[in-house]
């Protein structure tokens, strides 16, 4: 893996000779998210009629030692936020941030075990 590239797309990852190690890290990512009860699987029939589904994308990262030795292959599944439309898909997030600002609440986002280092 090129030390200049920090995070890889799926297309970039598949061109690497060690792509299989990244592929093998994907089930670990899904299991970790399920274990932390971050999301649940629901049948498509349960989706509200007005709801839009956003697709997901994978990103990949190698955890390396200071001398460049690969220590761990990591995969992360993310929602493709580029499909969102302002005012339709993320008013709730905006409203939550606005409310926490008005009420002077501390805001933070944490993802220790699943995040890239």
pLDDT tens-digit series, residues 38-65: 777 788 888 888 877 878 889 999 988 8
Residue 32 lies in a domain: yes
Residue 37: the pLDDT is: 81
- Has residue 91 got a pLDDT over 70? no
Closest CA to 23 of 56, 57, 60, 55: 60
Tokens linked to 6: 């920090």
Residue 112 lies in a domain: no
Residue 26 lies in a domain: yes
Split into its structural domains, the chain has a count of 1
- Has residue 111 got a pLDDT over 60? no
The pTM assigned to this predicted structure is 0.63
Residue 38 lies in a domain: yes
Residue 58: its H or E element? strand 56-64
Residue 78 lies in a domain: yes
Residue 67 lies in a domain: yes
Residue 113 lies in a domain: no
Tell me the H-state helices in the chain.
10-14, 19-35, 91-102
Residue 85 lies in a domain: yes
**From its phi and psi, is residue 55 left (phi > 0), alpha (psi between -120 and 50) or beta?**
beta
| Bridge partners (DSSP) listed for residue 8 | 60
């Amino acid at each position: 893996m090129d030390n200049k590239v920090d995070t890889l797309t799926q297309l970039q990852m598949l061109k690497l000779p060690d792509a299989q190690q990244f592929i093998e890290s994907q089930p670990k990512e899904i299991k970790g998210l399920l274990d932390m009860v971050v999301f649940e699987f629901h049948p498509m029939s349960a989706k509200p009629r007005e709801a839009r589904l956003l697709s997901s994308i994978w990103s990949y990262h190698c955890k390396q030692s200071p001398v460049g030795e690969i220590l761990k292959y990591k995969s992360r599944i993310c929602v493709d936020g580029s499909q969102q439309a302002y005012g339709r898909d993320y008013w709730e997030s905006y409203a939550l941030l606005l409310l926490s600002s008005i009420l002077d609440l501390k805001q933070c986002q944490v993802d220790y075990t699943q995040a890239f280092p």
